[in-house]
Each structure stands twice: as C-alpha cells, then as structure tokens.
C-alpha cells in the first residue's frame, strides 16, 4: 500500500503517519524529518534547507524531488509519504518517479482542519529530540513535564513552530498545497478526514476506508 498524507501544518500528518506505520507496517517518509536530520548533521543540504524552513517557505522543488526519488529508489513500495508532495509540480514529479519504479498510489488522505484550531495546536506542539514522538501540551501532554513517555528523551518545540513562521507556513499551504486536494480528487484517490477533534478520534473510520482500497 502506498499512501500520501496531505494537510495543513499541525493538522496531524505526523501523528497519523506514525499510526499508519504501526497498523499497516508501512515505511514512514517525512520530508520535514529528512530535512531536520540534515540540518542537525549540518550537511550541505541541511545548510541550504534551513534558510527556507526558518522562513516558513518551501525548499525548492528540485532539491526536494531528488531527496524523495532517492528514498523511493531504496524503499520501492509499502510507504506513507508525509509532507510530500506539497505543490502540483511535486505531485507530477511523484507520478513520474512512481511510474519509473512501477508503483501505484493507493490513496491520498486529506486532513481537513479549522485554521483557528491549528494555530493553537502548533503553539502547544512538542516532540522528542531522540525518538521524534509527538506531544501536545493540552491534548496529549507527557506524564512528566518536558520528558518523553516512551524513551525518556527531552521534549522540544520545533524551531519553526513560532507564530510568525506558522502564519507563513499556513499561507504557503493555502496557495501551493491545497490545490492538490482537487488533483487527487480528480484521480479518484482522495480520502477526506475532518481533524477538528483530533486525528486519533478518526482512525477507525479511516482504517475502514483504506481496507476497501487495499
């Protein structure tokens, strides 16, 4: 099964991807995580990407497309893409890459969410520095403040989760990524999920939808 998760920043893409990864045994590919890894390791790609990420802008397509082609060449099938594609050009490139590797997209899951809810969620979002487990200080707080329940790692706020960058990321999403909803709707691949109450409450229905398409 090959899936795409589409949604505004903070809609719950990472949380859903991690659940799908466990439930369906798919490999989780997050372009945001890949960029953050490069930034942490201070690679040339990381140094370039951080200039865009810190401003809430998309990293240029040719860089991101190459990153994904490299990942898919290794993984080939049974994956969930989180954060890619983010515009029509990337979606067309993904079509080309998948055709080249003879793989088919099963579905694109769109996480729909009220913008007011999303800003509050992002401001309260934390993740584990070591294992990446996601938390929310209001909806899903850790048992001990600033400590990961799963591995004891330190919980941190993402550098781009500040109000200025959040507004830019949201605008970028509206302009560049939202048109993908129609792109995948036209291909008959779209599954819509409303996430105003949180993605975890919607999982049972989603598993049913995915079962039909498997």
Interaction site with ligand AMP (CB under 6 A): 9, 31-32, 35, 52-53, 56-59, 64, 83-84, 86, 90, 160, 169
Among the listed residues 36, 121, 125, 126, the single catalytic one is: 125
Q: Minimal distance in Å, beta carbon 92 to ligand AMP?
A: 13
Among the listed residues 13, 36, 121, 126, the single catalytic one is: 13
Please identify, using beta-carbon distances, which residue of 59 and 191 lies nearer to ligand AMP.
59
Active site residue 197: no
Tokens representing 71?
């990942």
Q: Minimal distance in Å, beta carbon 125 to ligand AMP?
A: 10
Among the listed residues 18, 37, 157, 158, the single catalytic one is: 158
Active site residue 126: no
- Alpha-carbon distance of 181 to 43, in angstroms, equals 33
Task: Give the DSSP letter of residue 41.
Answer: T
- Alpha-carbon distance of 43 to 40, in angstroms, equals 8
Tokens representing 145?
């403040």
Please identify, using beta-carbon distances, which residue of 91 and 191 lies nearer to ligand AMP.
91
| Burial class of residue 191 (count of CB atoms within 10 Å of its CB; 0-12, 13-18, 19+) | buried
Q: Minimal distance in Å, beta carbon 160 to ligand AMP?
A: 6
Active site residue 13: yes
Tokens representing 104?
């088919």
Active site residue 213: no
Question: Among candidates 49, 3, 5, which has minimal Cα distance to 26?
Answer: 3
Helix (H, G, I), strand (E, B) or coil at 187: coil
Q: Minimal distance in Å, beta carbon 129 to ligand AMP?
A: 15
Please identify, using beta-carbon distances, which residue of 13 and 202 lies nearer to ligand AMP.
13
- Alpha-carbon distance of 18 to 20, in angstroms, equals 6
- Alpha-carbon distance of 24 to 2, in angstroms, equals 10
Among the listed residues 36, 86, 121, 126, the single catalytic one is: 86
Active site residue 150: no
Catalogue the active-site residues.
13, 86, 125, 158, 169
């Amino acid at each position: 099964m090959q899936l795409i998760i589409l949604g505004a920043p903070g809609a719950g893409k990472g949380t859903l991807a991690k659940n799908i990864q466990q439930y369906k045994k798919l490999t989780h590919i997050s372009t945001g995580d890949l960029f953050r890894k490069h930034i942490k390791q201070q690679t040339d790609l990381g140094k370039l990407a951080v200039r865009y990420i810190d401003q809430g802008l998309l990293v240029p397509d040719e860089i991101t497309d190459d990153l994904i082609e490299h990942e898919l060449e290794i993984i080939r099938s049974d994956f969930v893409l989180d954060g890619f594609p983010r515009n029509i050009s990337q979606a067309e490139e993904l079509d080309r890459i998948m055709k080249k590797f003879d793989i088919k997209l099963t579905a694109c899951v769109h996480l729909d969410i009220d913008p007011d809810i999303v800003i509050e969620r992002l401001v309260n979002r934390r993740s584990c520095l070591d294992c990446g487990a996601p938390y929310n200080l209001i909806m899903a707080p850790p048992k001990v403040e600033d400590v990961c329940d799963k591995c004891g790692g330190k919980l941190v706020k993402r550098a781009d989760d500040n109000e200025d960058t959040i507004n830019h990321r949201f605008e970028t999403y509206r302009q560049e990524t939202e048109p993908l909803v129609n792109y995948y709707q036209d291909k008959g691949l779209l599954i819509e999920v409303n996430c105003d109450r949180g993605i975890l409450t919607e999982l049972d229905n989603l598993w049913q939808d995915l079962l039909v398409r498997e």
